[in-house]
Structure 1
Amino acid sequence: MLKKTVFLVAACSALLLGCGGAPETEQDVNEEVISNLLEAGFPLNDIMVADGNVYVGRDAHITLQASREMLQANETSEEQYRTTNQVGTGVTKICVNPTADFNTYPMLSQGLDLAIANYNARALRLTFARGPTTGCTANITAQTMAGTGGSAGFPSGGLPYGVINIGTGLNTYSLNVNKHVITHELGHTIGFRHSDYYNRSISCGSGGDEGDSGVGAILIPGTPATAVVGGSIMNSCFRSTETGEWTSTDITALGYLYGTGGVAACSSLNFVAYRGQNGTQISCSCPGAGSGSVWGTDTYTDDSDVCAAAVHTAAIPSSGGTVLVTIRPGQSSYTGSTRNGITTLSYGAWNGSLSIASVTPPANCTSYDFTSYRGQNGTALRCSCPTVSGGTVWGTDTYTDDSSVCAAAVHAGVISTGGGVVLITIRPGQGSYTGSTRNGITTLSYGAWSGSYSVSP
């Protein structure tokens, strides 16, 4: 006769991978087997633990390997479903508070930062923040569980579900996978169902219909009614190749439920969390010139005040605007300078960088009268040059402010005759200007002149 063991399992919101390392204890093994079975579609009341083994149908012993094989993903569009309940409009800032144990796992901890940034980059009507912090209108605890999966719950009473559980086995996976899993679990807390809830074999390789589960499975308008592997962060199961990035239908679904139609405030994003994701671009908005510290020129440390850096690099005026931040590798040194009323600092080696550009194409350089900027030394302006066919220029590297900017830019080696975007920095007048020939452009010498500029990329 089998000695039955009572085993309580929270509803797993899945993301279980079939090739994780084996847990070290019998309890860890059984917990992962049960999680895998739930993910594969077996009802909880059909699972039991007896004599240290996990059974389904009372007499079918399921080994750890067999349970993992049930979760192998296969290739088969993206859809999004929500629960009946959503987070109410009274919730504006959700604070995710990791436990002390959670913070001892570096990949989990960094993954949490990236997941929070994932949501904040979408400019939703609610923001996420890592706690402890102030101003929270709702709180979620991030804690650990055994295995390589995760679990959470759905909103109730207008509040997000209060806990996400993240498997410690994920600490051996990539940062992108951790970002994916935590983003997924937070998605459940604000009301997202699995995108393949009706047929979990799509992403898991096996498993059936989760059904309504008493919380609803409502198709979100604008998203297709089918699902594919990799089609959504909210797929039931994940792969080891996940990037942790939203798909197009994820973005549609987020915007439908919680969007404002805008972009996130740059101040709400933690760009340090994007280290290593070189080339990743994030749009965000600045209400004006930031007041924080900035290190570098054109390439800045990733802990710099982005809005102040954006004004410094001439991506936006001091009145603000929308910028495109690009994640860059760390540099061995950063050089400070003064531009546009912003003084940046120099620094040595730092592990992460960013550059900033305007999301609006710069105006044609011919539309500017640079002589009108005399005395505004250090002011920098970005403008674009079409194909360069000629123009009169006085000076070398430092040019008179009535010189043809695009011709000067070719002379300085900043662009080719095919044109491009340049940065013009206003300089003081000089006592004399020396002409030269470079890059097919011959400039002229001149005496004293009241205003100058330099040209850089």
Structure 2
Amino acid sequence: MFKKAAVFAVTCGALLVGCSADPQAENEEIISNLLEAGFPADDILIADDAVYVGRDAHVTLEASREMLQATSESPEQYRTTNLVGTGVTKICVNSTAAFDSYTFLSQGLDLAIANYNERGLRITFARGPATGCTANITAQTTTGTGGSAGFPSGGLPYGIINIGTGLNSYSADVNEHVITHELGHAVGFRHSDYYNRSISCGSGGDEGDAGVGAIHIPGTPTTAVVGGSIMNSCFRSTETGEWTSSDNTALDYLYGGTIPSCSSINFTSYRGQNGTQIRCSCPATSSGTVWGTDLYTDDSNACAAAVHAGAIPSTGGTVVAVIQPGQSSYTGTTRNGITTLSYSAWDGSFSFQLPPAQSCSSVSFTSYRGQNGTQIRCNCPATSSGVVWGTDLYTDDSNACAAAVHAGAIPSTGGNVTVTIQPGQSSYTGTTRNGITTLSYSAWGGSFSVSP
């Protein structure tokens, strides 16, 4: 993967058979096998005596030979990428000392590993050194601002990802994006825009298909768009590093596993593994013993805590719990129909990844009347006006974003807020705060308060 408009330096440009930069017989066989498998000659490149297709996917001799072998897999699999076998359950990514010396490369690797683990796949990743590895990948540095990897072979992921040190001048999110992308190649993904690299790169053509090069994954789009997938050929400086919905579909189709029940997980056994993400499922939940707010003691009922946090509704769902350090104290509150308890010091905690905030303007807060304590997380654009009645407690037909600015929960430039449903009041007093003037009103049937 390379930054848009960046140049991939090779010794002989687009490789044709017999290019003088490839004197080794092994590479000649790889090239011959790729051509026979259906890759066009102008998609095959050589750099540092290694053969690549699609500009960043390294092909070994063994992998090229496997491309010519008959397969028992369904035609709905990635034919040329030789998927990772079921015998691989834990892939350890071992970074070199040189790699670790680059702050954003190192942070990006941690974030990329978390990307895969949060999906609850049959394969998990761990940053080495670690125990229980059934396969290993080395993360090492290379020059430039891109990366490269290769396809799986023999049921194992490709063993190396090369990440350009120039990426250290980009954000951790961009590094996360590129490393997630290269790990994607290592476990068997082709570029989502393989048929037209100009979609994400601004130039370039078809990497080659011929019915075997890049088989479509059911449920995913057949056309690529800029920003539509982590597996686009080129990246932008604005990448967030997060999976898109089609990426998630592809991952779940190829490597999806059974998501464990949260009740089957002993969260206390993860103490000290701060930042570890655990994806698990919850049934409908309306009660359970929980200590804390947002950060919960690690012996709390995880599903009740997830409802309290707003990670799932009371009807249940899938959550991502994040292991956190122990706290000196925990505060109990009532949210979303769950009342949690306060506690003193405890040795371990967990929190939850929350779903993206919806637009506050799309929520009818009056429909929540009577559900006092229920919290709705939503997002506000820049707001400098809006009709609002009350101060601190607002009528539930008020403009929530203007109320949030008035309350000091967000600046006028906008942001995410938590709206808490409250009982109706006998009267509401208007005031002027933070550039917003609210109105007074008499009795009203429902209210809300707002907080960051």
Normalising to structure 1: TM-score of the pair? Answer: 0.53
Q: Partner amino acid for 1:336?
A: Y
Q: Write the deviation string for residues 111-150 of structure 1: whole angstroms up to 9, x where unpaired.
A: 0111111111211111111111111111111111111111
Residues 1:203 and 1:120: Cα distance change in structure 2 (over 3 Å): same
1:299 is matched with: 294
Structure 2 Cα separation of the partners of residues 120 and 261 of structure 1: 13
Larger Rg: 1 or 2?
1
Q: Does 1:237 align with 2:224?
A: no
1:96 matched to which residue of 2?
93
TM-aligned CA deviation for residue 386 of structure 1: 6.1
* Deviation of 1:225 (Å): 2.7
Residues of 2 paired with 1:406 and 1:99: CA distance? 53
Corresponding position of 1:196: 193
Is the deviation greater in 96-105 or in 240-249?
A: 240-249
Distance 1:209 1:151 in 2: 18
SS at the partner of 1:34? Answer: coil
Alignment partners' CA distance in 1, 2:210 and 2:299 = 44
Where does structure 1 lack aligned partners over 5 or more consecutive residues?
1-13, 21-31, 50-70, 72-79, 275-281, 288-293, 348-352, 360-383, 390-404, 424-435, 442-455
Q: Does 1:171 align with 2:165?
A: no
Relative to structure 1, the CA distance from residue 257 to residue 309 in structure 2 (aligned partners, 3 Å threshold; closer, same or farther) is closer
- Report the counterpart of residue 38 of structure 2 in structure 1: none
Q: Describe the shift of the 1:88–1:355 C-alpha distance in structure 2 as closer, same or farther (beyond 3 A).
A: closer
The structural deviation recorded for 1:284 is 4.3
Contact 2:292–2:340 (8 Å) recurs in 1? no
Residue 91 of structure 1 contacts residue 126 of structure 1 at CA under 8 Å; is this kept in 2?
yes
The secondary structure found in structure 1 opposite 2:234 is coil
Q: Are 1:134 and 2:121 an aligned pair?
A: no
1:336 maps to 2:330: yes
Tell whether the 8 Å contact from 1:197 to 1:236 is kept in structure 2 after alignment: yes
Instruction: Identify if the C-alpha distance between structure 1 residues 211 and 387 changes in structure 2 by more than 3 Å, giving closer, same or farther.
Output: closer
Aligned to 1:118: 115
The 2-side partners of 1:161 and 1:406 are apart by 53
Does residue 186 in structure 1 map to residue 180 in structure 2? no
Q: Is the 8 A contact 1:82 1:193 kept in 2?
A: no
| Aligned 8 A contact 2:366 2:396 in 1 | no
In the alignment, residue 34 of structure 1 is paired with which amino acid?
V
> Deviation digits for residues 83-124 of structure 1, max 9, x if unmatched?
351111111111111111111111011101111111112111
Q: Cα gap change, 1:338/1:199 in structure 2, threshold over 3 Å: closer, same or farther? A: closer
Query: Per-residue displacement from partner, 1:387-415 (whole Å, max 9, x unpaired)?
Result: 558xxxxxxxxxxxxxxx959x9xxx889
Letter in 1 for 2:112: A
| Change in CA separation of 1:299 and 1:169 when aligned onto 2, cut-off 3 Å | same
Is the CA contact 1:99–1:142 (under 8 Å) kept in the aligned structure 2?
yes
What's the CA shift for 1:221? Answer: 1.9
* AA in 1 matched with 2:295: Y
8 Å Cα contact 1:310/1:323 also seen in 2: no
1:160 to 1:264, Cα distance in 2 relative to 1, 3 A: farther
- What's the offset of the Cα at 1:153? 0.8
Question: Matches of 1:44 and 1:247 in 2, distance apart?
Answer: 38
The match for 1:55 is none
Counterpart CA distance in 1 for 2:369 and 2:235 is: 51
3-state secondary structure, aligned to 1:109: helix
| CA deviations over 1:327-350 (Å, ceiling 9, x no partner) | 9xx9xx985247989765569xxx
Query: Is the contact between residue 201 and residue 207 of structure 1 (CA under 8 Å) also seen in structure 2?
Result: yes
Question: Which deviations, in whole Å up to 9, do the C-alpha atoms of 1:25-50 show, x marking residues without a partner?
Answer: xxxxxxx5229x86xx655965859x
Letter of the 1:119 partner, please give it.
Y
Counterpart CA distance in 1 for 2:191 and 2:99 is 25
Over the residues paired in the alignment, what is the CA RMSD in angstroms? Answer: 5.3
Find out whether 1:34 has 2:10 as its counterpart. yes
What is the SS of the residue equivalent to 1:101? helix
Distance 2:137 2:230 in 1: 20
What secondary structure does 1:134 align onto?
A: coil
Instruction: Tell me: CA distance 1:312–1:260, structure 2 relative to 1, closer, same or farther (3 Å).
Output: closer
CA shift in 2, pair 1:336/1:145, >3 Å:
same
Letter in 2 for 1:300: L
Q: Distance in 2 between matches of 1:176 and 1:415?
A: 38
Cα pair distance change 1:85/1:326, threshold 3 Å: closer
- C-alpha separation in 2, matches of 1:169 and 1:98: 17
Q: Deviations over 1:270-309 (max 9, x none)?
A: 87499xxxxxxx964479xxxxxx9x942339xx759667
Change (3 A) 1:387 1:167: closer
**1:3-402 paired onto structure 2 within 5 Å:** 14-18=1-5, 33-34=9-10, 83-211=80-208, 216-260=213-257, 262=259, 272=275, 284-285=280-281, 297-300=292-295, 305=298, 315=308, 322=317, 324=319, 335-337=329-331, 388=369
Aligned counterparts of 1:337 and 1:310: Cα–Cα separation in 2? 18
SS at match of 1:171: helix
Cα displacement string for residues 183-240 of structure 1 (whole angstroms, at most 9, x for unaligned residues): 0000011111112223322222222333359984222222233222222211111111
Which protein has greater RCO, CA pairs closer than 8 Å, 6+ apart? 1
1:342–1:130 CA distance, 2 compared to 1 (3 A): farther
- Of all paired residues, the percent bearing the same amino acid is 54
Q: 1:283 to 1:87 in 2, by over 3 A?
A: closer
Deviations, residues 365-403 of structure 1 (Å, cap 9, x unaligned): xxxxxxxxxxxxxxxxxxx996558xxxxxxxxxxxxxx
For 1:297 and 1:124, locate their aligned partners in 2 and report how far apart those are by CA, in whole Å. Answer: 30
SS in 2 for 1:115: helix
Instruction: For residue 139 of structure 2, give the secondary structure of its aligned residue in structure 1.
Output: strand
Distance change in 2, residues 1:101/1:224 (3 Å): same
* Structure-2 separation of matches of 1:192 and 1:387: 44
